[in-house]
Amino acid sequence: MAVGIFDSGLGGLTVYDAVSKRLPEVPIVYFGDNAHAPYGVRDADDVYDLTTKAVERMWEAGCDLVILACNTASAAALRRMQESWVPTDKRVLGVFVPLIEALTERSWGDNSPPREVDVQHVALFATPATVASRAFQRELAFRAIGVDVEAQACGGVVDAIEDGDMILAEALVRSHVDALKRKMPEPQAAILGCTHYPIMHDTFQDALGARVKVYSQANLVAESLADYLERHPTMIGTGEKNMFLTTGDVRKVSDRATQFLRRRITFESA
């Protein structure tokens, strides 16, 4: 009865943590493609090839439903996967939908025409590949009109987090927020469009100011997944135990994951 959570590295552990607390009875297979991280600087075909390979491994582990916790994979590969690759008895879902549901305060099943929403000025912080895809803006346009999205590509942040260099990560976040504010001086809301970024949530909030509502994805994805599984219980796969898989150095990744979640996490080779 497992579900899968995929990320290019360790950032998806923020989603794993939220899902495991929201659905403690559901085993989770987590796959980190640490050997090829970060995805944010790769082209779309490369991201697609790496993501499909990882998803196939999670299917082998008994996951019929896989969440792409990697925003870059959701932006660059998900639509192509859903249209031409995912078999009818499997599901691969992304992380944009729960975020847009929260931002626009309307459910994804609401197919009425786009309408005005309370927030008009939104800052999007994401990897270069996610920004280049314009996937967030495209999906948002199906639900809302009159929303100005200013995107800031946050180069270097994922690398710093993966390396455990939080001093560098904080400096980079503040630099990227300053760059965003030069383009949009007074955003009303900010989207942390990478699952690594919630680790730096307090830094983003401090740099943006208390008046800006900062949206992180982990809890939103967990609630959306719980709702989805309630409506589609047959999509819970046959896997029966939690697993942490990585393409990277097992010991190094395990140690870093333990630091992130502040409890012992042991990865095995994918």
The residue written with tokens 């975020």 in the block is 99
Residue 10 DSSP symbol: S
Rounded to whole angstroms, the Cα distance separating 153 from 220 reads 22
- Classify residue 86 as exposed, middle or buried by CB count within 10 Å of its CB (0-12, 13-18, 19+): middle
Q: What angle do CA 64, 67, 72 make, to 5 degrees?
A: 140
Query: CB neighbours (10 Å) of residue 175?
Result: 15
Amino acid at 108: W
- Distances in whole angstroms, Cα of residue 61 to Cα of each of 54, 140, 159: 11, 33, 28
Kindly name the residue from 47, 70, 95, 199 that is annotated as catalytic: 70
Query: CB neighbours (10 Å) of residue 170?
Result: 18
Q: Is 63 a catalytic residue?
A: no
Kindly name the residue from 50, 126, 135, 194 that is annotated as catalytic: 194
From the centroid of its chain, how far is CA 88?
A: 24
* Residues with a known catalytic role: 70, 194
